[in-house]
């Protein structure tokens, strides 16, 4: 096995938008055609990506963490999502792990630091802060809501430049909402406002058109930033590039990533370099297996069916179809029939653990990610 291994994960990247990542496609190749999420939200999907397990209660531990298992003298992780932090066990196994800080508190966090996430007072404080923040956006420059890919890549290159052996995990928030790329068709403040309107169901047709342009802009900007990473790492680095889930951009009258079981959320881009992927179907639970080059937890090198569960809904996927409570569709969303896949979905529903729901997650992290 080569001395350098890299896992790159992208939040909310749709399968059909990988086509706009021209630099990354040239470096890694086209996406695997039938890779699927195990859930429709980050906290649960990463139990699979890092732990090789189907989602249950939030977080991972030492028995479900690929970084603990990998034999590497130096392991460096950078997360840009508060649900992927030491609070949830994602720092385990790393020599250095960077995640959004809970100590650099702004006014909102200082007000809330002595409140429990589920308290009424916390909710009131969050709403007051949202109102204050809205005023700030009208009178001053607006920043990105998440740490940028450029910063993440710079930190990682600086940390590994003089090392010959390492494992790296980089998680990027582009193109997670709010969609506000640097070179968008509107200002960043306007972009964030448009994103909120489409997510809240208050958008005009013009808003929806701009929001789709902004989402694509986020994807293309990430691709532009990744060129520096691809140029910097050794040519024989083993690389896996994968999204955690997709994104709805107005399909079914919805935006974002909720519990809707559909190809736009469940079908994922997956590309690799120096890691062969031979299975017709890949599930997120197979990512640790591919990284370790041995089967780990629920992962497999060969699979015919993948499964997902979210908020009481269940899905089964194969190389051609997605089966949900509502029936069967092709990977492009057209109606189809597949009785065997529907039977597999029903069997999975009977035995699957119940993943954590959004209402059960800490409100401070939900609010930081724009869900409250």
Which residue is associated with the tokens 């169901």?
Answer: 201
Domains of the chain: residue spans and CATH: 4-100+146-180+220-356 (3.40.720.10)
Whether 357 shows a pLDDT value over 50: the answer reads yes
pLDDT digits (tens, 9 = 90+) for 43-81: 999 999 999 999 988 899 999 999 999 999 999 999 999
- Give me the pLDDT at residue 359, please: 57
pLDDT single digits (tens) 295-344: 999 999 999 999 999 989 999 999 999 999 999 999 999 999 999 999 99
Question: Tell me, what's the pLDDT at 139?
Answer: 44
Quote the percentage of the chain above a pLDDT of 70.
84
Q: Are 264 and 248 in contact (CB under 8 A)?
A: yes
- Report d(CA 285, CA 330) in Å as an integer: 22
pLDDT digit string, tens, across residues 99-156: 997 654 444 444 333 333 334 443 444 445 445 545 555 544 688 889 999 999 999 9
Distance set, CA 322 to CA 264, 328, 329 (Å): 11, 6, 5
Q: Which pLDDT score, from 0 to 100, does residue 369 have?
A: 56
Block residue for tokens 């809240």: 200
Indicate if the pLDDT at residue 161 is higher than 80: yes
Contact call for residues 249 and 217 (beta carbons, < 8 A): no
- pLDDT given at position 352: 83
Mean of the pLDDT values across residues 19-44? 97
Please give the model's pTM, rounded to 2 decimal places.
0.88
Average pLDDT score, the chain: 88
Confidence check: pLDDT of 354 > 80: no
What's the pLDDT at 364? 64
For residue range 256-268, list pLDDT tens digits in order.
988 789 999 999 9
For residues 286 and 352, which has the higher predicted lDDT (pLDDT)?
Answer: 286
Check pLDDT > 90 for residue 235: yes
Residue 144 is predicted with a pLDDT of 87
Instruction: Output the CA angle 366-34-311, nearest 5 degrees.
Output: 35
């Amino acid at each position: 096995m080569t001395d350098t291994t890299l896992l790159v994960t992208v939040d909310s990247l749709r399968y059909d938008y990988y086509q706009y990542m021209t630099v990354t496609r040239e470096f890694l190749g086209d996406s695997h055609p039938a890779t699927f999420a195990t859930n429709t939200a980050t906290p649960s999907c990463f139990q699979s990506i890092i732990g090789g397990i189907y989602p249950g209660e939030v977080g991972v531990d030492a028995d479900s963490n690929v970084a603990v298992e990998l034999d590497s003298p130096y392991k460096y992780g950078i997360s840009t999502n508060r649900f992927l932090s030491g609070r949830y066990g994602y720092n385990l196994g790393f020599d250095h792990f960077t995640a959004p800080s809970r100590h650099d508190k702004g006014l909102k966090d200082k007000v809330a630091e002595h409140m429990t996430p589920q308290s009424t007072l916390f909710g009131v404080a969050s709403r007051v802060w949202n109102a204050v923040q809205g005023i700030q956006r009208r009178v001053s420059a607006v920043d990105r809501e998440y740490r940028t890919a450029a910063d993440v890549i710079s930190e990682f290159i600086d940390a590994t430049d003089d090392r010959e052996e390492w494992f790296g995990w980089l998680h990027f928030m582009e193109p997670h909402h709010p969609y506000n790329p640097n070179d968008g068709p509107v200002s960043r403040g306007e972009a964030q406002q448009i994103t909120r309107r489409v997510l809240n169901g208050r958008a005009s047709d013009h808003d929806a058109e701009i929001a789709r342009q902004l989402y694509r802009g986020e994807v293309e900007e990430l691709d532009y930033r990744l060129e520096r990473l691809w140029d910097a790492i050794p040519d024989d680095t083993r690389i896996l590039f994968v999204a955690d889930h997709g994104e709805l951009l107005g399909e079914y009258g919805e935006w974002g990533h909720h519990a809707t079981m559909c190809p736009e959320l469940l079908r994922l881009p997956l590309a690799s370099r120096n890691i062969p992927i031979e299975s017709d179907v890949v599930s997120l639970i197979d990512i640790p297996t591919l990284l370790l080059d041995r089967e780990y937890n629920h992962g497999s090198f060969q699979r015919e069916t993948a499964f997902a569960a979210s908020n009481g809904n269940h899905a089964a996927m194969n190389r051609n179809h997605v089966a949900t409570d509502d029936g069967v569709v092709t990977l492009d969303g057209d109606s189809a029939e597949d009785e065997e896949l529907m039977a597999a979905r029903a069997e999975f529903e009977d035995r699957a653990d119940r993943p954590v729901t959004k209402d059960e997650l800490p409100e401070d992290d939900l609010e930081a990610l724009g869900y409250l």
